[in-house]
Amino acid sequence: MDISVIGGGYMGLVTSVGLAELGNTVTVIDLNESKVAMINSAQAPFFEPGLHELLQKHVGSSLFASTTFEDVADSEISFICVDTPADETGHVNLTKVKSSACSIGLALQGLETFHTVVIKSTVPPGTTESVIIPLILGKSKRNFSTLGFSANPEFLREGQAVADFMHPDRIVIGVSDGRAEEILTRMYCKIDAPILTTSIKSAEMAKHVSNAFLATKISFANEVGNICKNLEIDVYDVMRCVGSDHRISPNFLSAGVGFGGSCLPKDLKALIHLAEALGEEPFLLHAVKKVNEKQPERIYRLLERKLGKLKNKRIAVLGLAFKPNTDDIRGSPAIPVIQSLDAKGATVIAYDPLAVENMRGVFPRIKYAKHPLEALTGADACVLLTEWPEFECLDSEFDAMQTRIVIEGRKILLCKNKEGVCW
Ligand code: UDX
């Protein structure tokens, strides 16, 4: 099929290379000219395992990038994959979704061939039918006889997004008519996963609930970890026993410094905001958010317990990305940890395999090391905030520190004499 994808970010570009890999011809439309130029030269604008190889394979033959919406007219399906950021209150900013819908509508004006518009961006339940569809019908001056719509949320995890696209647990398709369902079922037929068809707003809601539940599991593990730490119990031992129950599953029960990323925190806030707008009090979701917000504080409280005042102390921070295998620092717990250390007058020297340049944009004044040993040499303490595989075997490097105080925000080190944030 000929497909256009609006948005060349983590979701849009991974979806584009995945659809090209399935045998479709895909045009990625993004207003950022430098990003479009990078994609057309088969360069990935961000790190994602497997993305570079798929760009090399498909760019110029079945994958193209453009800054204009003209290609939408030649495509059978267009995906809206632009970001939908939420503010502190959880109110979701739909500006990019609305402008994409208008541009798609204008590009579809005067055409008679059936076209399906798919909303993959995470939008509050009800948005597709109350905002996006009316915009596209209005701008295109067409109706449901030649336009189909679907909400098709993605569940890709950064750092494994390409694998998650090709091997999802399920594909959720929210549709309002049979033609859109048939077209999307055919488009996804080569992927070995159940296709769950539902209403458009159920699909929109399933995305929020999935992420809110994942966040709940993590905050639950962290709350249990905080309790266990007082009892000198390793929460990882406890969760190994608890998670082996098929009703619970071991996944997403890893306690640590809290969940980050651009999705879990945002979608949790959005669901809270939605509930409150409906007059429902989301007690549990508020608690999940509160546990997560308080978790990073435990890192510097532990440091103060071991070092006393942190002023002028040299603290090595290993790991800046919100998780391994990505350069993304959005929502990273490293941000509040560094903020607090900086505010307390500590000298921070940070290292991350991929995310240093992104973090330099947030904290231009702190020092950045080129490798772990440079960060550790002479440090009074070390906090490990991202479980990069290369940290696993660190041991003698910690002896280069002034004092060997090692605090794990993520469980990864094999060596002895270290302490976990909640283990
Ligand atoms: C998440 C959802 O998993 C994905 O389905 C959705 O499409 C986008 O949001 P992502 O944010 O990329 O994916 O990363 P994920 O692997 O979910 O981790 C999110 C955060 O939770 C990370 O900061 C990670 O360190 C943390 N986490 C994860 C834990 O603290 N404990 C866990 O057990 C798992």
Structure-derived torsion over alpha carbons of residues 64, 70, 75, 78, reported in degrees to the nearest 10: 90
pLDDT attached to residue 176? 86
83 lines ligand 1 (CB under 6 A): no
Give me Rg for the CA atoms of the chain: 23
Q: What is the 3-state secondary structure (H, E, C) of 307-333?
A: HCCCCCCEEEEECCCCCCCCCCCCCCC
Q: Domain map of the chain by residue range? A: 2-198, 208-294, 297-420
Question: Whose Cα sits closest to atom 14 in ligand 1?
Answer: 157
pLDDT more than 70, % of the chain? 100
Residue-by-residue DSSP string for 376-408: HTT-SEEEE-S--GGGTT--GGGGGSSS--EEE
CATH architecture of 297-420: 3-Layer(aba) Sandwich (3.40)
pLDDT attached to residue 206? 98
pLDDT attached to residue 88? 87
Atom number of ligand 1 nearest to Cα 332: 23
Question: Whose Cα sits closest to atom 13 in ligand 1?
Answer: 157
pTM: 0.96
CA dihedral sign, ordered 410, 411, 415, 419: positive
Give the C-alpha separation, 292 to 22, whole Å: 38
Question: Whose Cα sits closest to atom 20 in ligand 1?
Answer: 259
Nearby residues of 194 by Cβ (< 8 Å), 6 or more positions away:
170, 171
324 lines ligand 1 (CB under 6 A): no
Tell the residue number behind the tokens 């080190």, with chain if given. Answer: 413
Ligand 1 centre distance from Cα of residue 210 (Å) = 11
252 lines ligand 1 (CB under 6 A): yes
- Give me the CATH topology for the region 208-294: Rossmann fold (3.40.50)
pLDDT attached to residue 102? 98
In this structure, are residues 414 and 395 in contact, taking their beta carbons and an 8 Å threshold? yes
Please indicate whether the domains covering 2-198 and 297-420 agree at the CATH topology level: yes
CATH of 2-198, one of 3.40.50.620, 3.10.440.10, 3.40.50.720, 3.40.605.10: 3.40.50.720
Active site residue 228: no
| Intervals of the chain under pLDDT 50 | none
* Catalytic residue, candidates 102, 189, 228, 263: 263
CA distances from 273 to 206, 210, 219, 340 (A): 16, 16, 19, 28
Give the C-alpha separation, 162 to 167, whole Å: 9
In this structure, are residues 307 and 340 in contact, taking their beta carbons and an 8 Å threshold? no
pLDDT attached to residue 76? 97
Ligand 1 centre distance from Cα of residue 264 (Å) = 7
For helices 264-277 and 283-294, the axis angle rounded to 10 degrees is 150
